[in-house]
Amino acid sequence: MLISNELRWFYPGRIPDGIKVWFDEYCLIDHEQLPQQREDVYLYIPGSDFLGIKLREGSLEIKWRTAELGIVSFGEFVSGKAEKWTKWSCNDATGEAFQPAIVLGTTSWVRVQKVRYLQLYQVFTDFSVQPTNEECIDNGCSLEVTQLHIQNEPWWSLALEANGEDDRVMANLQATANTVFNIYEKLKLLATDSYAYPHWLGLCITN
Q: How confident is the model at residue 189 (pLDDT cuts 50, 70, 90)?
A: very high
Helical (H) or strand (E) element with 173: helix 169-180
In the chain, DSSP finds a helix count (H) and a strand count (E) of 4, 9
Domain ranges of the chain: 2-206
The sign of the torsion formed by the CA atoms of 180, 181, 187, 189 equals positive
Given a cut of 70, whether residue 99 has pLDDT beyond it is yes
pLDDT of residue 198: 97
- Per CATH, the number for 2-206 is 2.40.320
Short-list 81, 32, 72, 75, CA closest to 180 = 75
User: Mean pLDDT across the chain, nearest whole number?
Assistant: 92
pLDDT of residue 54: 94
* Residue 47 or residue 144, greater confidence: 144
pLDDT of residue 95: 67
List, for residues 55-78, the tens digit of each pLDDT value.
Answer: 888 889 999 999 999 999 998 899
Q: How confident is the model at residue 33 (pLDDT cuts 50, 70, 90)?
A: confident
Given a cut of 90, whether residue 11 has pLDDT beyond it is yes
**Contact of 182 with 26, CB cutoff 8 Å:** no
pLDDT of residue 156: 98
